[in-house]
A and B are shown apart, each in its own frame.
Chain A
Amino acid sequence: MKIMVILGGSHIMSETMAEAYKKATPKMLKCGVSGNEVTPFSDHEIIVTTPEEALGTFLEHSPDKLIFAGTFNDGNEFPPFILVQRILTQSMDGDRSRFLYMNPISVLPFHKEPNFFLFMDIVGMANWFGLS
């Protein structure tokens, strides 16, 4: 199964931090907190993208599931994340079993790159998608 994670908030991080965040997300989902675990996501393909690139990534990979990770509820931000959210969910027929909002996702300590922890509710997400 292809699972696309859209990382909101990467636009307000430094480039280094955003890159680290993008790299850490699939590792976190597939290998857990220790980096050495088997998780419900281990056997699945994880595609990470940003809101800016999300439409193109979606077309390129045709993912089975979407995770909106981070803040997607502020339509005043640029780029207009709310449009990304609407277009992608409509393109999945509004099927709530195919997309999940993870808000907030936390990266701590935010400014002390690259020593950060990524908190994601792996079990909750897996349950939502019926992976566990």
Chain B
Amino acid sequence: MKKILVIEDTIEQSSLVADLLKEKGCAYLVAKNLAEASFAIQSASFDGVLTDLHFPEKEGASVTPPCGFAVLVMCAEKSLPVVVVSDIDHHFADYAKVVVNGIAKLHATGKIPFVMDSKDWPKGIQLLEEVMI
């Protein structure tokens, strides 16, 4: 059974991805902010991570960089497969891509797939399955 960490701050979205993971027979934990995500990554073993980039409750409206970048660095340090599923403002998209690709170079897999649609969890799960192999 694959063990997945889901990092998503909205209940609607985390419930959606949870249902998809249950259908696939995965065990999962849900973290809603950077503190919870960091604690979970340090405290338990996971096969993969699905993460949003923005956790507004912790970041505020205009703070950059988003907390999700810190999660990606933690995953890179632990060689933990990770996929980003997040809406990106078009002003921010190029910057986000550059940062995610830069962090990917630190990752053992060399890849951090990026789904630029916060509702497309099926695609995120599919990409995570590919990088977990």
Contacts and interface: CB of A to CB of B under 8 A. Distances in A.
Interface of A: 52, 55-56, 58-60, 62, 79-80, 83-84, 86-88, 90-91, 93-94
Contacts, number: 50
A94 B15 CA distance: 10
Interface string B10-22: 0100110010000
A59 B29 contact: yes
A59 B36 CA distance: 16
Name the prevailing secondary structure of the A interface residues.
Answer: helix
Interface of B: 1, 3, 11, 14-15, 18, 27-32, 35-36, 39-40, 43-46
Given A86-B32, A91-B30, A56 B43 contact: yes
A87 B27 CA distance: 13
Given A59-B27, A87-B31, A94 B11 contact: yes
Contact of A93 (B18, B27, B45): B18
Given A90-B31, A91-B28, A59 B44 contact: yes
Nearest to B3: A59
A93 B43 CA distance: 21
A80 B39 contact: yes
A87 B35 contact: no
A36 to B, nearest CB: 35
A21 B92 CA distance: 53
Contact of A90 (B3, B30, B39, B44): B30
Nearest to B6: A91
17 contacts: A52-B43, A55-B40, A56-B44, A56-B45, A58-B27, A59-B29, A59-B44, A60-B27, A80-B39, A83-B36, A84-B43, A86-B36, A87-B40, A90-B32, A91-B29, A93-B18, A94-B11
